[in-house]
Chain A
Amino acid sequence: MTRTRRFRLLSAVLILGLFASACSSRDDDDDTSTGGDGGGEGGGEESSIDTSNCVTDPTAEIEGDTIKLVSSYPQSGLTAAFAEIASGWQSYFDMVNQEGGVEIAGKSYQLEWETKDDEYNAAETVSNIQEMLGSEGDQAFATFSVVGTANNLAIRDDLNEECVPSLFAATGSPAWGNPDYPWLIGSTLSPYTLEGQVFADLLKDQAPDAKVAMLVQDDDFGKAYEDGFRQAIEGTDIEVVKVEKYATGASEVSAQITSLASSGANAFFDGATLLACPAALQSAAAANWQRDFTWVSSTCISKTLMGIAGADAADVYSISNIKDPQDPQWDDDEGMQLYRDTVGANFPDTDTENGIVAYGWTQAAVFVEALRNAEAPTRLAVMESVHNIDVGDDVGLLAPGAGVTTGPEDPYMGERLNLVQYGFEGPDARNHFNVVGDTYDFEGQTADLTPEDLVTG
């Protein structure tokens, strides 16, 4: 009996002690539960961004002379193909730092960054960003180039609440135009619904009664393709005969392709990304699927992924607004040479012919332009500046005519784009995408061309 009594006493002491110790305080900062009134009501004049609910003060100026960015993206395993984006943007930032940094309102800032691997898993992205930003969102200035639709959706509530800029999300989801989330902005990767639009236009022109089979990822990334394309073909004779989905991040899709191949479709929308994308093309070839048109996701046009598909990717269509570094016509281009030299010096192991590196480079270039145009070194001013970008095609490696424009009401970049087609000339050739036809200009139209629930849902 004494044993039980002693134990009861111990637990009572434990619980009492817990409450008693709760009254003292740790040496660091004060409590966070009431920290909400630090928000910048004063900074709200004329701003397009509502800052009244910010947990942190977005009008606070950067302390010191560095701007710290954090990023989370797949860096290992089967999802590592996207890791190369970072060698592009890091090289550009390095170059800017060596030239003295970015000048905002008369003061120069060095760019600094920290990244973590999330293996394309949204839960990991949440932990990574929380860890790097700190629970108050004060360990870094902003996030930059976080990869993945679900991944960015998973972190946007926190970032929005903390009013931490979430910049150049490396995904083309139309959800980045949601006015409820003014602190998140996409990148020059064109909104996925525009891909559906361009493919629909191509089919209307060349095969008005096409039957389309779609392969999409089983999440909001895939939903954007499916719903976007369905809206684009409304009122035409084009028909979606079958849609197959694959689990987010999976790389094996042969079962889905077998099913699609037997659907009688003569057009294939390969909306897969990462390894699933080339795997789908290979499986389609293995299944001897006779079709007239194949579309691949614009997230899949890198040398890494197209190289895997090889001859099976011959003649596939997609869109792009970046100069393809594999295309010999840009060999003498000044921007391309600068890119090659800088990335080559910073990351000797990186293949500069990989379009995904050029994409990363271009994001950094556009962002640095926006930073320079910011009125003050504050989160709010930078966010307002990226909502007022107007740069020509001389920035980064933007393709001719593919300048980037954003506005307070139109956060979409990448609305000027080219239809491109993959020319396969042999396994060792510099296979690249060729521009087909004129540049599309959807400037300011993405919201109209997108089902509303994809933006706000």
Chain B
Amino acid sequence: MADPTVPGTEPETVPGTDPDHLLEPPRPDVEVSEGVEAAAQAEDTSVHGVPEVPPMPRPVFIARVVIGAALAFAALYAPYYFQEDMNKVLAQALYLAVAAMGLNLLTGFNGQVSIGHGAFFGVGAFTTAILMVDHGWMFEPTILVSALLTGLFGLLVGFPALRVRGLYLALVTLGLAVAFPAVAKRFVHGSGGVALVRPPRSEFGSLIDGVDDDQWKYAVCLVAVVLLFWAARNLVQSRTGRAMVAVRDQEIAATTVGVNLAATKVWTFGLSAAYAGVAGSLSVMVEGFADATNPIIYFQRSIEFLVAMTIGGAATILGPLVGALLVVLLRRNTSDLIEGKEVLSPALFGAALIAIVYVLPDGVVGGVKRLLARLGRRETSQRAQVGAPNT
């Protein structure tokens, strides 16, 4: 499985000159570390927000439990508080978060840039839609098939991706996203002769009495987000996760300590694609169709994933979720901000994104972490305590 030619062909990478670094997401938490282990250690820290080794102070622990419970309650209560249209928006944010998390595993944690995840998303969406329309499947099982299929597709793309890196990898994956609608148009025979497949709306109905359809869709998306983010979190903290980060930061060093470069990269690609595929499946439920009528729609999706990951905070666990919520809510709120000047809404959206990235170059989650770290430092110095050392 090891592919010695790839690292072998790579000259010594000088940070800053390697094309990889041009597209790498900012990682302010990670200090420029010489050794692989140090890098992995530092990354670990950034994942948890608090260091692993010293025991957590009791107030912090309680605060975390309280905040966590409040957020969980908010997430569960939201579909009852909001009306139908807002629930749809939230469900959109949730499936976007799943795709952004997929991209985060690949780009944020493993350093492989992809502008092609829209294609995986599309494969997932059409898998679900076609299974339902042509083969009479229920919605829920199609998610698994989508995940498997897009995962395989991701592995296939992952192999050639071993040979190209950085900007070139971005270009290759971009081609994927741009080519997808044309390919779909060729093989999909949707209603009206265009590449639009719509399962009957009743197929997405709520399976629980007393839960409205929109609440049900939100709940399904929420369950997917919880499960997949949990899985991602566990993965990133595992040996494999540390290997992924090591590959991102120092390929050569990673191989010297025994990380299987090719396997790590290819499997990450596959897993990441599977996340995007699940998001695609969920999108069929939320939007009601799989659509490739617009030739650049999956390119736009890819950018959306990238934006959600970046403004939320790359290489963090909550980042993609926060980013997805921000993207979807910003788009919704900028679209009717100026009455009669809807043309301006993309500009407003863009300006808001620029503002966010300018103020929080490491994403919202990264920014919050910096803020907490600063507060923590002040507190410790004020109390003159020997508290938890915060990076």
**Complex-state Cα separation, A23 to B76, whole angstroms:** 12
> Known: A22-B211, A31-B210, A150-B293. Is A248-B343 also a contact (CB below 8 A)?
no
Flag if B198 contacts A154 (CB, 8 Å): yes
Q: Which listed residue (B72, B193, B201, B219) contacts A219, Cβ 8 A? A: B193
Asked if B213 and A126 sit within 8 Å, CB to CB, the answer is no
Q: Counting CB contacts under 8 A, is B367 at the interface?
A: no
Min Cβ gap A128→B in Å is 12
Q: Are A14 and B76 in contact (CB under 8 A)?
A: yes
Partner of A18, one of B69, B192, B198, B223: B223
- A residues within 8 A CB of B358? none
The one of B85, B208, B230, B291 in contact with A131, judged by C-beta atoms closer than 8 angstroms, is B85
B137-192, CB < 8 A from A: 185, 191-192
CB distance from B162 to the nearest CB of A (A): 33
Q: What is the minimal beta-carbon distance from B131 to any residue of chain A, in angstroms? A: 18
Q: For the complex, is B196 an interface residue (Cβ under 8 Å from A)?
A: yes
Which B residues are in CB contact (< 8 Å) with A244? none
B83 within 8 A of A: yes
How does the 8 Å CB contact mask read for A244-277 relative to B, with 1 for contact and 0 for none? 0001110000000000000000000000000000
B388 within 8 A of partner (CB): no
Which residues of the other chain, A, contact B230 by a CB distance below 8 angstroms? Answer: 7, 11
A248 touches B293 (CB 8 A): yes
Q: How far is the CB of B234 from chain A (nearest CB, A)?
A: 8
How many angstroms between the C-alpha atoms of A127 and B196 in the bound complex? 13
Closest chain A residue to B200 by CB distance?
A: A157
**CB-contacts of A353-387 with B (<8 A):** none
Given A22-B211, A150-B193, A248-B194, are A123 and B206 neighbors across the interface (CB < 8 Å)? Answer: no
A41 at the interface (CB under 8 A from B): no
Q: Does B209 belong to the interface (CB within 8 Å)?
A: yes
Most buried by A among B83, B210, B215: B210
Shortest distance from the beta carbon of B209 to any chain A beta carbon, whole Å: 7
Chain B residues with Cβ under 8 A from A149's Cβ?
192
- The answer to whether B185 touches A23, judged by C-beta atoms less than 8 angstroms apart, is no
> What's the interface size class on A, roughly?
35 or more
Residue A32 is within 8 A (CB to CB) of chain B in the complex: yes
Residues of A within 8 Å of B343, CB to CB, are: 76
- Measured between alpha carbons, how far is A149 from B293 in the docked complex, in Å? 13
Contacts of A152 in B (CB 8 A): 192
| Contact code string B348-374 (vs A, CB < 8 Å = 1, else 0) | 000000000000000000000000000
- What residues on B are CB-neighbors of A150 within 8 Å? 191-194, 196, 293
Residue B22 at the A interface, CB < 8 A?
no
B157 CB → nearest A CB, Å:
25
- Chain A's nearest CB lies how many Å from the CB of B145? 22
Known contacts: A26-B215, A126-B288, A130-B288. The answer to whether A220 contacts B192 by CB under 8 A is: yes
Contact of B193 (CB < 8 Å), options: A17, A18, A123, A223? A223
Given contacts A14-B76, A25-B210, A26-B80, contact A122 B287 (CB under 8 A): no
Complex interface: chain B residues within 8 A of A154 (CB): 191-192, 194, 196, 198, 289
Q: Contact mask B27-71 → A, CB, 8 Å, 1/0?
A: 000000000000000000000000000000000000001001100
B196 in complex: contacting residue of A32, A122, A221, CB < 8 Å: A122
Interface-centre pick from A23, A135, A149 (highest chain B CB count, 10 A): A135
Nearest CB of B to A227, in Å:
11
Q: Hey, which chain B residues are within 8 Å of A31, CB to CB?
A: 206, 209-212
Among A33, A126, A151, A222, contact of B289 (Cβ-Cβ < 8 Å): A126
Question: Contact mask A219-244 → B, CB, 8 Å, 1/0?
Answer: 11111000000000000000000000
* In contact, A222 and B288 (Cβ under 8 angstroms): no
Interface flag for B26 (CB, 8 Å): no
CA gap between A247 and B185 in the complex, in Å: 9
| Residues of chain A within 8 A of B209, CB atoms compared | 31, 33
Taking a contact as CB atoms under 8 Å apart, the answer to whether A135 and B213 are in contact is: yes
Give A428 to B81 CA distance when docked, in angstroms: 60
Minimum distance in angstroms from A414 CB to a CB of chain B: 20
- Selected from B72, B219, B288, B295, the residue in CB contact (under 8 A) with A10 is B72
| A11-B226 in contact given A123-B196, A135-B214, A150-B293 (Cβ < 8 Å) | yes
B228 vs chain A, min Cβ distance (A): 12
Q: Are B193 and A28 in contact (CB under 8 A)?
A: no
B84 at interface (Cβ–Cβ under 8 A)?
yes
Chain B 219-244, CB-CB to A under 8 Å as 1, else 0, gives 10011001000100100000000000
The 0/1 profile, CB within 8 Å of B marked 1, for residues 94-138 of chain A is 000000000000000000000000000111001100110011000
* Closest Cβ neighbor of B297 among chain A residues: A123
Tell me if A50 is interfacial: C-beta within 8 Å of chain B. no
Least Cβ–Cβ distance between A288 and chain B, in angstroms: 30
B213 to chain A: which residues have CB within 8 Å?
32-33, 135
Determine if B193 and A218 form an interchain contact, defined as CB atoms under 8 angstroms apart.
yes
Q: B61 — nearest CB in chain A belongs to which residue?
A: A6
**Contact between B192 and A151, CB atoms less than 8 A apart:** yes
B293 with A123: CB separation less than 8 A: yes
Tell me which residues across on chain B come within 8 A of A390, comparing CB atoms: none
- List of A residues within 8 angstroms of B295 by Cβ: 247
Q: Determine whether the beta carbon of B201 is less than 8 Å from that of A158.
A: yes
Query: Among the listed B85, B194, B223, which residue makes an inter-chain contact with A122, where contact means beta carbons less than 8 Å apart?
Result: B194
Asked whether, in the complex, the Cβ of A21 is within 8 Å of the Cβ of B192, the reply is: no
Q: Closest chain B residue to A123 by CB distance? A: B291
Taking the complex as formed, is B376 at the interface, i.e. its CB lies under 8 A from any CB of chain A? Answer: no
* CB of B205 within 8 Å of the partner chain: yes
Q: Would you give the shortest CB distance from B34 to chain A, in whole angstroms?
A: 28
Chain B positions near chain A (C-beta within 8 angstroms): 65, 68-69, 72-73, 75-77, 79-80, 83-85, 185, 191-194, 196, 198, 200-202, 205-206, 208-215, 219, 222-223, 226, 230, 233, 287-289, 291, 293-295, 343
26 contacts between A and B (CB under 8 A): A10-B68, A11-B226, A13-B72, A14-B76, A22-B219, A31-B211, A33-B206, A122-B293, A123-B196, A123-B287, A123-B289, A126-B288, A130-B288, A134-B84, A149-B192, A150-B192, A150-B196, A154-B191, A154-B198, A157-B191, A158-B201, A161-B202, A218-B185, A223-B193, A247-B295, A249-B293
A-B contact sample (17 more), CB < 8 A, given A131-B85, A154-B198:
A13-B69, A15-B226, A17-B73, A18-B222, A21-B76, A26-B212, A26-B215, A31-B212, A32-B212, A122-B191, A122-B293, A126-B289, A134-B84, A150-B192, A150-B194, A153-B192, A247-B185
